[in-house]
Structure 1
Amino acid sequence: MPEVIFPGPEGRLEGRYHPQKDRDAPIAIVLHPHPQFGGTMNNRVVYNLHYAFYNLGFTVLRFNFRGVGRSQGEYDQGIGELADAASALDYLQSMNPNAKHCWVAGFSFGAWIGMQLLMRRPEVTGFISVAPPANMYDFSFLAPCPASGLVINGAADRVAPPKDTVNLVNKLHEQKGITITHTQIEGAGHFFEDDEAHMKPMIGEVSDYVKRRLTETTR
Protein backbone atom coordinates (compact mmCIF):
# COMPACT_ATOMS: atom_id res chain seq x y z
CA MET A 1 0.00 0.00 0.00
CA PRO A 2 1.68 3.21 -1.14
CA GLU A 3 2.76 5.88 1.28
CA VAL A 4 1.59 9.29 0.10
CA ILE A 5 2.46 12.86 1.00
CA PHE A 6 -0.13 15.47 0.12
CA PRO A 7 -0.54 19.17 0.89
CA GLY A 8 -2.36 20.22 4.05
CA PRO A 9 -3.15 23.62 5.53
CA GLU A 10 0.07 23.67 7.60
CA GLY A 11 2.40 21.81 5.24
CA ARG A 12 2.60 18.23 4.12
CA LEU A 13 0.43 15.43 5.49
CA GLU A 14 1.49 11.78 5.54
CA GLY A 15 -0.96 9.08 4.52
CA ARG A 16 -1.53 5.54 3.28
CA TYR A 17 -3.50 5.33 0.05
CA HIS A 18 -5.05 2.10 -1.16
CA PRO A 19 -6.66 2.42 -4.62
CA GLN A 20 -8.94 -0.02 -6.41
CA LYS A 21 -8.51 -0.89 -10.08
CA ASP A 22 -12.09 0.23 -10.78
CA ARG A 23 -12.05 3.97 -11.49
CA ASP A 24 -15.68 4.28 -10.37
CA ALA A 25 -14.94 2.70 -6.98
CA PRO A 26 -16.46 4.41 -3.94
CA ILE A 27 -14.01 6.30 -1.72
CA ALA A 28 -13.53 6.39 2.05
CA ILE A 29 -11.36 8.40 4.43
CA VAL A 30 -10.46 7.02 7.89
CA LEU A 31 -9.59 9.37 10.79
CA HIS A 32 -7.43 8.43 13.78
CA PRO A 33 -7.84 9.05 17.52
CA HIS A 34 -6.44 11.90 19.59
CA PRO A 35 -2.92 12.97 18.53
CA GLN A 36 -1.94 13.91 22.08
CA PHE A 37 -2.82 10.48 23.47
CA GLY A 38 -0.85 8.37 21.01
CA GLY A 39 -3.38 8.40 18.16
CA THR A 40 -1.91 7.74 14.70
CA MET A 41 -3.11 6.37 11.37
CA ASN A 42 -1.58 3.01 12.40
CA ASN A 43 -3.93 2.64 15.36
CA ARG A 44 -5.41 -0.89 15.34
CA VAL A 45 -9.01 0.27 14.96
CA VAL A 46 -8.10 2.69 12.14
CA TYR A 47 -6.01 0.05 10.37
CA ASN A 48 -8.84 -2.49 10.55
CA LEU A 49 -11.43 0.04 9.37
CA HIS A 50 -9.16 0.91 6.43
CA TYR A 51 -8.98 -2.70 5.29
CA ALA A 52 -12.68 -3.31 5.92
CA PHE A 53 -13.50 -0.56 3.42
CA TYR A 54 -10.83 -1.74 0.97
CA ASN A 55 -12.18 -5.30 1.07
CA LEU A 56 -15.64 -3.93 0.24
CA GLY A 57 -14.29 -2.36 -2.95
CA PHE A 58 -13.51 1.16 -1.70
CA THR A 59 -10.45 3.21 -2.56
CA VAL A 60 -9.26 4.22 0.93
CA LEU A 61 -7.07 6.91 2.49
CA ARG A 62 -5.96 7.15 6.09
CA PHE A 63 -3.49 9.80 7.22
CA ASN A 64 -1.74 11.38 10.18
CA PHE A 65 -3.14 14.64 11.50
CA ARG A 66 -0.75 17.61 11.77
CA GLY A 67 2.18 17.02 14.10
CA VAL A 68 1.84 13.21 13.99
CA GLY A 69 4.46 11.05 12.26
CA ARG A 70 5.77 12.89 9.23
CA SER A 71 2.81 15.28 9.02
CA GLN A 72 3.84 18.90 9.52
CA GLY A 73 2.28 21.37 11.94
CA GLU A 74 1.16 21.20 15.57
CA TYR A 75 -1.93 19.96 17.38
CA ASP A 76 -4.72 22.53 17.03
CA GLN A 77 -7.58 21.57 19.38
CA GLY A 78 -9.56 19.93 16.57
CA ILE A 79 -9.90 23.09 14.45
CA GLY A 80 -6.77 22.45 12.40
CA GLU A 81 -7.41 18.71 12.38
CA LEU A 82 -10.77 19.32 10.72
CA ALA A 83 -8.96 21.40 8.07
CA ASP A 84 -6.50 18.49 7.64
CA ALA A 85 -9.39 16.08 7.10
CA ALA A 86 -10.91 18.41 4.50
CA SER A 87 -7.55 18.56 2.68
CA ALA A 88 -7.29 14.76 2.79
CA LEU A 89 -10.77 14.43 1.30
CA ASP A 90 -9.84 16.96 -1.40
CA TYR A 91 -6.78 14.86 -2.25
CA LEU A 92 -8.78 11.62 -2.31
CA GLN A 93 -11.43 13.17 -4.56
CA SER A 94 -8.83 14.65 -6.91
CA MET A 95 -7.40 11.15 -7.39
CA ASN A 96 -10.85 9.61 -7.88
CA PRO A 97 -13.07 12.10 -9.75
CA ASN A 98 -15.48 9.37 -10.89
CA ALA A 99 -16.32 8.01 -7.43
CA LYS A 100 -20.09 7.80 -6.94
CA HIS A 101 -20.03 7.34 -3.18
CA CYS A 102 -17.95 9.01 -0.47
CA TRP A 103 -17.76 7.78 3.13
CA VAL A 104 -16.08 9.10 6.26
CA ALA A 105 -15.05 6.84 9.14
CA GLY A 106 -13.45 7.90 12.40
CA PHE A 107 -12.46 6.41 15.74
CA SER A 108 -12.81 8.33 19.02
CA PHE A 109 -11.41 11.87 18.43
CA GLY A 110 -11.43 10.94 14.73
CA ALA A 111 -15.18 10.22 14.98
CA TRP A 112 -15.74 13.76 16.28
CA ILE A 113 -13.70 15.23 13.42
CA GLY A 114 -15.44 12.95 10.94
CA MET A 115 -18.90 14.10 12.00
CA GLN A 116 -17.84 17.73 11.60
CA LEU A 117 -16.47 16.98 8.13
CA LEU A 118 -19.81 15.38 7.32
CA MET A 119 -21.55 18.69 8.06
CA ARG A 120 -19.31 20.61 5.68
CA ARG A 121 -19.19 18.22 2.76
CA PRO A 122 -22.56 17.41 1.17
CA GLU A 123 -20.95 14.82 -1.09
CA VAL A 124 -20.43 12.49 1.90
CA THR A 125 -23.09 9.80 1.60
CA GLY A 126 -22.39 7.70 4.69
CA PHE A 127 -20.39 7.62 7.91
CA ILE A 128 -19.01 5.22 10.49
CA SER A 129 -18.50 6.66 13.96
CA VAL A 130 -16.57 4.29 16.27
CA ALA A 131 -16.62 5.10 19.99
CA PRO A 132 -17.53 8.80 19.56
CA PRO A 133 -16.44 10.65 22.73
CA ALA A 134 -19.80 12.34 23.34
CA ASN A 135 -18.81 12.91 26.98
CA MET A 136 -15.79 15.04 25.99
CA TYR A 137 -16.87 16.91 22.88
CA ASP A 138 -19.93 18.83 21.81
CA PHE A 139 -21.79 17.07 18.99
CA SER A 140 -24.67 19.59 18.88
CA PHE A 141 -23.41 20.83 15.50
CA LEU A 142 -25.21 17.80 14.02
CA ALA A 143 -28.41 19.76 13.54
CA PRO A 144 -29.52 18.38 11.27
CA CYS A 145 -27.22 15.43 10.57
CA PRO A 146 -26.98 15.36 6.76
CA ALA A 147 -26.38 11.64 6.12
CA SER A 148 -27.28 8.23 7.50
CA GLY A 149 -24.59 6.27 9.29
CA LEU A 150 -23.51 3.75 11.88
CA VAL A 151 -22.51 4.59 15.46
CA ILE A 152 -20.73 1.67 17.12
CA ASN A 153 -19.17 1.43 20.57
CA GLY A 154 -18.05 -1.00 23.24
CA ALA A 155 -20.56 -1.76 25.99
CA ALA A 156 -17.72 -1.61 28.55
CA ASP A 157 -16.15 1.62 27.25
CA ARG A 158 -14.79 3.67 30.18
CA VAL A 159 -13.25 6.44 28.06
CA ALA A 160 -16.48 7.33 26.23
CA PRO A 161 -19.25 5.87 28.41
CA PRO A 162 -22.07 4.09 26.53
CA LYS A 163 -24.78 6.22 28.18
CA ASP A 164 -23.36 9.34 26.50
CA THR A 165 -23.24 7.55 23.16
CA VAL A 166 -26.88 6.48 23.59
CA ASN A 167 -27.87 10.09 24.37
CA LEU A 168 -26.10 11.24 21.18
CA VAL A 169 -27.83 8.57 19.08
CA ASN A 170 -31.23 9.45 20.57
CA LYS A 171 -30.76 13.09 19.59
CA LEU A 172 -29.82 12.08 16.06
CA HIS A 173 -32.81 9.72 15.86
CA GLU A 174 -35.16 12.68 16.22
CA GLN A 175 -34.08 14.06 12.85
CA LYS A 176 -36.06 13.31 9.72
CA GLY A 177 -34.82 11.93 6.44
CA ILE A 178 -31.84 9.98 7.80
CA THR A 179 -31.37 6.70 9.65
CA ILE A 180 -28.82 6.33 12.43
CA THR A 181 -27.96 2.72 13.20
CA HIS A 182 -26.48 2.06 16.65
CA THR A 183 -24.64 -1.11 17.67
CA GLN A 184 -22.82 -2.00 20.89
CA ILE A 185 -20.17 -4.71 21.14
CA GLU A 186 -20.65 -6.63 24.37
CA GLY A 187 -17.67 -6.60 26.74
CA ALA A 188 -15.58 -4.30 24.54
CA GLY A 189 -13.67 -1.35 25.96
CA HIS A 190 -12.80 1.84 24.11
CA PHE A 191 -9.99 0.24 22.09
CA PHE A 192 -11.67 -3.12 21.29
CA GLU A 193 -8.63 -4.76 22.88
CA ASP A 194 -9.46 -8.43 22.28
CA ASP A 195 -9.12 -9.24 18.58
CA GLU A 196 -11.48 -12.23 18.54
CA ALA A 197 -14.06 -11.07 21.08
CA HIS A 198 -14.17 -7.34 20.29
CA MET A 199 -12.30 -6.19 17.17
CA LYS A 200 -13.57 -8.83 14.74
CA PRO A 201 -17.23 -8.42 15.77
CA MET A 202 -16.93 -4.62 15.51
CA ILE A 203 -15.36 -4.75 12.04
CA GLY A 204 -17.94 -7.37 11.05
CA GLU A 205 -20.77 -5.04 12.04
CA VAL A 206 -19.16 -2.16 10.10
CA SER A 207 -18.68 -4.32 7.00
CA ASP A 208 -22.26 -5.65 7.12
CA TYR A 209 -23.65 -2.14 7.50
CA VAL A 210 -21.62 -0.65 4.63
CA LYS A 211 -22.43 -3.64 2.39
CA ARG A 212 -26.15 -3.21 3.11
CA ARG A 213 -26.03 0.52 2.35
CA LEU A 214 -24.19 -0.05 -0.93
CA THR A 215 -26.73 -2.69 -1.97
CA GLU A 216 -29.59 -0.29 -1.25
CA THR A 217 -28.06 2.47 -3.37
CA THR A 218 -27.44 0.22 -6.39
CA ARG A 219 -30.98 -1.15 -6.58
Structure 2
Amino acid sequence: MVNSMTETRVTFACGDLSLEGVSSVPEGKGPFAAVVVCHPHPLYGGTMDNNVVIAVCRAVSQTSIASLRFNFRGVGGSQGGHADGVDEQDDVAAALSFLGSMETVDQARIGLCGYSFGAGIALEVAARDEQVKALALVSPMLSHPSPIESYVKPKLLLWGSQDLALPAADLKSFTEGLPEPKQYKVIPGADHSWRGYEDKVAPRVAAFFTETLKPSAQA
Protein backbone atom coordinates (compact mmCIF):
# COMPACT_ATOMS: atom_id res chain seq x y z
CA MET A 1 0.00 0.00 0.00
CA VAL A 2 1.34 3.44 -0.98
CA ASN A 3 0.82 6.09 1.67
CA SER A 4 -0.27 9.53 0.51
CA MET A 5 1.53 12.66 1.64
CA THR A 6 1.03 16.40 1.43
CA GLU A 7 3.93 18.47 0.14
CA THR A 8 4.04 22.15 1.03
CA ARG A 9 6.53 24.81 0.00
CA VAL A 10 7.69 26.62 3.13
CA THR A 11 10.04 29.37 4.23
CA PHE A 12 11.71 29.65 7.62
CA ALA A 13 14.12 32.00 9.30
CA CYS A 14 17.79 31.44 9.94
CA GLY A 15 18.96 34.57 11.71
CA ASP A 16 18.31 37.43 9.30
CA LEU A 17 17.99 35.08 6.32
CA SER A 18 14.93 33.41 4.85
CA LEU A 19 15.44 29.83 3.66
CA GLU A 20 13.12 27.87 1.39
CA GLY A 21 12.11 24.26 1.72
CA VAL A 22 9.47 21.62 1.11
CA SER A 23 7.74 19.82 3.96
CA SER A 24 6.20 16.40 3.35
CA VAL A 25 3.61 15.15 5.83
CA PRO A 26 1.96 11.72 5.59
CA GLU A 27 -1.79 11.45 5.65
CA GLY A 28 -3.30 10.09 8.83
CA LYS A 29 -3.24 10.87 12.51
CA GLY A 30 -0.08 12.52 13.84
CA PRO A 31 2.06 13.64 15.39
CA PHE A 32 4.64 11.92 13.20
CA ALA A 33 8.32 11.22 13.51
CA ALA A 34 10.17 13.54 11.14
CA VAL A 35 13.49 13.94 9.35
CA VAL A 36 15.44 16.90 7.96
CA VAL A 37 17.27 15.99 4.73
CA CYS A 38 20.35 17.98 3.64
CA HIS A 39 21.40 18.26 -0.01
CA PRO A 40 24.87 17.87 -1.61
CA HIS A 41 27.39 20.60 -2.44
CA PRO A 42 25.72 23.71 -3.90
CA LEU A 43 28.81 24.70 -5.88
CA TYR A 44 28.47 21.43 -7.81
CA GLY A 45 24.77 21.74 -8.49
CA GLY A 46 23.40 20.40 -5.22
CA THR A 47 19.87 21.51 -4.29
CA MET A 48 16.90 20.21 -2.35
CA ASP A 49 15.64 18.78 -5.66
CA ASN A 50 18.58 16.36 -5.87
CA ASN A 51 17.68 12.79 -6.84
CA VAL A 52 18.82 11.24 -3.54
CA VAL A 53 17.18 13.92 -1.40
CA ILE A 54 13.80 13.53 -3.10
CA ALA A 55 14.04 9.72 -3.04
CA VAL A 56 14.72 9.73 0.70
CA CYS A 57 11.82 12.10 1.43
CA ARG A 58 9.44 9.95 -0.60
CA ALA A 59 10.69 6.75 1.01
CA VAL A 60 10.27 7.96 4.58
CA SER A 61 6.77 9.19 3.79
CA GLN A 62 5.84 5.61 2.88
CA THR A 63 6.65 4.64 6.47
CA SER A 64 4.58 7.51 7.92
CA ILE A 65 7.54 9.76 8.67
CA ALA A 66 7.36 13.47 7.83
CA SER A 67 10.30 15.26 6.24
CA LEU A 68 11.74 18.66 5.44
CA ARG A 69 14.15 19.20 2.57
CA PHE A 70 15.51 22.69 2.10
CA ASN A 71 17.98 24.77 0.15
CA PHE A 72 21.09 25.90 1.98
CA ARG A 73 21.79 29.64 2.02
CA GLY A 74 22.50 31.05 -1.43
CA VAL A 75 20.76 28.17 -3.23
CA GLY A 76 17.54 28.68 -5.19
CA GLY A 77 15.21 30.97 -3.27
CA SER A 78 17.21 30.82 -0.03
CA GLN A 79 18.86 34.09 0.90
CA GLY A 80 22.54 34.60 1.65
CA GLY A 81 25.63 33.08 0.07
CA HIS A 82 27.68 29.90 0.28
CA ALA A 83 29.78 29.82 3.46
CA ASP A 84 32.07 26.80 2.95
CA GLY A 85 30.02 24.60 5.26
CA VAL A 86 30.36 26.80 8.33
CA ASP A 87 27.22 28.96 8.44
CA GLU A 88 25.35 26.14 6.70
CA GLN A 89 25.36 24.44 10.09
CA ASP A 90 23.09 27.23 11.29
CA ASP A 91 20.80 26.47 8.34
CA VAL A 92 20.41 22.88 9.51
CA ALA A 93 19.77 23.95 13.09
CA ALA A 94 17.08 26.35 11.86
CA ALA A 95 15.51 23.60 9.74
CA LEU A 96 15.39 21.28 12.76
CA SER A 97 13.74 23.98 14.86
CA PHE A 98 11.20 24.73 12.14
CA LEU A 99 10.38 21.05 11.68
CA GLY A 100 9.99 20.56 15.41
CA SER A 101 7.58 23.49 15.61
CA MET A 102 5.11 21.87 13.22
CA GLU A 103 1.93 20.63 14.93
CA THR A 104 2.05 17.41 12.93
CA VAL A 105 5.56 16.52 14.18
CA ASP A 106 6.54 14.71 17.37
CA GLN A 107 9.43 16.77 18.77
CA ALA A 108 10.78 13.71 20.59
CA ARG A 109 11.24 11.76 17.33
CA ILE A 110 13.35 13.87 14.99
CA GLY A 111 16.12 12.52 12.78
CA LEU A 112 18.68 14.06 10.46
CA CYS A 113 19.92 12.85 7.08
CA GLY A 114 22.58 14.28 4.80
CA TYR A 115 24.05 13.36 1.43
CA SER A 116 27.69 14.10 0.53
CA PHE A 117 28.34 17.75 1.50
CA GLY A 118 25.04 17.65 3.36
CA ALA A 119 26.22 14.60 5.29
CA GLY A 120 29.21 16.51 6.62
CA ILE A 121 27.06 19.42 7.73
CA ALA A 122 24.47 17.09 9.26
CA LEU A 123 27.14 15.29 11.28
CA GLU A 124 28.53 18.51 12.73
CA VAL A 125 25.05 19.58 13.84
CA ALA A 126 23.95 16.19 15.16
CA ALA A 127 27.06 15.98 17.33
CA ARG A 128 25.83 18.90 19.43
CA ASP A 129 22.05 19.07 18.91
CA GLU A 130 20.16 17.01 21.47
CA GLN A 131 16.91 17.01 19.49
CA VAL A 132 18.50 14.78 16.81
CA LYS A 133 17.69 11.21 17.85
CA ALA A 134 19.16 9.37 14.85
CA LEU A 135 21.55 10.24 12.02
CA ALA A 136 21.78 8.87 8.46
CA LEU A 137 24.76 9.77 6.27
CA VAL A 138 24.80 8.98 2.55
CA SER A 139 28.22 9.13 0.86
CA PRO A 140 29.85 11.05 3.72
CA MET A 141 33.47 12.13 3.31
CA LEU A 142 34.97 10.96 6.60
CA SER A 143 38.49 11.22 7.97
CA HIS A 144 40.25 11.14 11.33
CA PRO A 145 39.41 12.88 13.56
CA SER A 146 35.65 13.08 13.06
CA PRO A 147 32.70 13.84 15.36
CA ILE A 148 31.19 10.51 14.36
CA GLU A 149 33.95 8.68 16.22
CA SER A 150 32.34 9.74 19.49
CA TYR A 151 28.72 9.85 18.32
CA VAL A 152 26.82 7.32 20.42
CA LYS A 153 23.29 7.77 19.05
CA PRO A 154 21.91 5.51 16.29
CA LYS A 155 23.68 6.12 12.98
CA LEU A 156 23.52 4.76 9.45
CA LEU A 157 26.30 5.17 6.89
CA LEU A 158 25.82 4.27 3.22
CA TRP A 159 28.27 4.36 0.31
CA GLY A 160 28.38 3.11 -3.26
CA SER A 161 31.03 0.56 -4.22
CA GLN A 162 31.97 2.64 -7.29
CA ASP A 163 32.44 5.88 -5.36
CA LEU A 164 36.02 6.65 -6.38
CA ALA A 165 36.48 9.21 -3.60
CA LEU A 166 35.85 6.62 -0.90
CA PRO A 167 37.98 3.43 -1.07
CA ALA A 168 36.03 0.45 0.27
CA ALA A 169 38.94 -0.83 2.37
CA ASP A 170 39.26 2.51 4.14
CA LEU A 171 35.51 2.63 4.81
CA LYS A 172 35.49 -0.84 6.36
CA SER A 173 38.34 0.02 8.71
CA PHE A 174 36.80 3.36 9.67
CA THR A 175 33.27 2.14 10.32
CA GLU A 176 34.27 -0.94 12.29
CA GLY A 177 35.85 1.34 14.88
CA LEU A 178 32.75 3.49 15.39
CA PRO A 179 30.71 3.22 18.59
CA GLU A 180 27.41 1.38 18.64
CA PRO A 181 24.60 1.60 17.72
CA LYS A 182 25.55 1.73 14.06
CA GLN A 183 24.60 0.37 10.67
CA TYR A 184 26.72 0.67 7.55
CA LYS A 185 26.54 -0.73 4.05
CA VAL A 186 28.41 -0.43 0.76
CA ILE A 187 25.90 -0.77 -2.09
CA PRO A 188 27.33 -2.73 -5.05
CA GLY A 189 27.47 -0.80 -8.32
CA ALA A 190 26.50 2.64 -7.07
CA ASP A 191 28.78 5.65 -7.52
CA HIS A 192 28.73 8.99 -5.70
CA SER A 193 25.72 10.25 -7.68
CA TRP A 194 23.52 7.20 -6.94
CA ARG A 195 21.90 7.60 -10.37
CA GLY A 196 19.88 4.46 -11.01
CA TYR A 197 20.39 3.30 -7.43
CA GLU A 198 17.94 5.56 -5.64
CA ASP A 199 15.76 2.52 -4.94
CA LYS A 200 18.68 0.87 -3.17
CA VAL A 201 19.64 3.75 -0.89
CA ALA A 202 16.36 5.49 -0.01
CA PRO A 203 14.50 2.44 1.39
CA ARG A 204 17.47 1.67 3.65
CA VAL A 205 17.34 5.18 5.05
CA ALA A 206 13.58 4.89 5.57
CA ALA A 207 13.92 1.52 7.32
CA PHE A 208 16.60 2.94 9.61
CA PHE A 209 14.46 5.87 10.70
CA THR A 210 11.39 3.65 11.07
CA GLU A 211 13.37 1.56 13.53
CA THR A 212 15.14 4.34 15.42
CA LEU A 213 12.33 6.91 15.59
CA LYS A 214 9.51 4.62 16.68
CA PRO A 215 7.56 5.78 19.75
CA SER A 216 9.37 3.40 22.10
CA ALA A 217 12.66 5.10 21.14
CA GLN A 218 11.64 8.41 22.66
CA ALA A 219 14.18 9.92 25.04
The SS at the match of 2:37 is strand
CA contact (8 A) 1:105 1:128 kept: yes
Q: Deviations over 1:36-78 (max 9, x none)?
A: 1110000000010111111111121000000000000111111
Return closer, same or farther for 1:208/1:143 CA change in 2, 3 Å cut-off. Answer: closer
Shift of 1:124: 1.3
Out of 76, 80, 87, the position equivalent to 2:87 is 80
Return closer, same or farther for 1:151/1:143 CA change in 2, 3 Å cut-off. Answer: closer
> Following TM superposition, where does structure 1 have runs of at least 4 consecutive aligned residues deviating by more than 6 angstroms?
none
Partner Cα distance (1:3, 1:156) in 2: 35
The equivalent of 2:124 in structure 1 is: 116
User: What CA RMSD, in Å, does the superposition of the two structures yield over aligned residues?
Assistant: 2.2
Q: Deviations over 1:87-117 (max 9, x none)?
A: 0111111114643311101100111111111
Matched, 1:26 2:33: yes
The equivalent of 1:185 in structure 2 is: 187
Out of 27, 36, 49, the position equivalent to 2:43 is 36
Partner Cα distance (1:156, 1:190) in 2: 7
Q: Counting helix residues as a fraction of each chain, which structure ranks higher?
A: 1
The equivalent of 2:135 in structure 1 is: 127
The equivalent of 2:202 in structure 1 is: 203
Question: Which one has more relative contact order, counting CA pairs under 8 Å at least 6 apart?
Answer: 2
The SS at the match of 1:18 is strand
Q: Counting strand residues as a fraction of each chain, which structure ranks higher?
A: 2
The equivalent of 2:4 in structure 1 is: none
Q: Deviations over 1:116-161 (max 9, x none)?
A: 11112112111111010126xx652235203111101101101333
Shift of 1:86: 0.2
Aligned residues: 210
Partner Cα distance (1:150, 1:74) in 2: 30
The equivalent of 1:150 in structure 2 is: 156
- Structure 2: gaps (5+ residues): 1-6
Q: TM-score, normalised by structure 2?
A: 0.87
Out of 70, 76, 91, the position equivalent to 2:98 is 91
The SS at the match of 1:158 is coil
Shift of 1:208: 2.9
Aligned-residue sequence identity (percent) comes to: 30
Shift of 1:190: 0.6
- Structure 1: gaps (5+ residues): none
Partner Cα distance (1:169, 1:52) in 2: 25
